[in-house]
Amino acid sequence: QHLRIKAFYGTSFNAVKTQIWIAISIYLLVAIIKKRLNLPGSLHTILQILEVNIFEKKPIYQTVRDALKHNSPDCNSNQLILFD
């Protein structure tokens, strides 16, 4: 459902098929990592976090945990609450 391929880099049948298999493989690897490390958050959220932090040299668990903690609603921010 969240597996989205924005652009194909090749137009031949093999190129398109290869890119689809790579996208599926990445999705499955992230699902395995999520299960083994007991990461909080959805697969979609973890994929977005990894996409932004792809070149950081931090462990995956620490990267995801820090990003989710930073975006939690308990975080003190200057944003006002609309509803109680």
Between these two residues, 65 and 29, which has the higher pLDDT value? 29
Write a three-state SS string for 36-67. Answer: HHCCCCCHHHHHHHHHHCCCCCCCHHHHHHHH
Nearest residue to 5 via CA among 31, 29, 24: 24
Averaged pLDDT for residues 56-63: 86
Nearest residue to 46 via CA among 24, 68, 28, 25: 68
Task: Compute the Cα dihedral for 58, 51, 40, 75 and give only its sign.
Answer: positive
Between these two residues, 17 and 71, which has the higher pLDDT value? 17
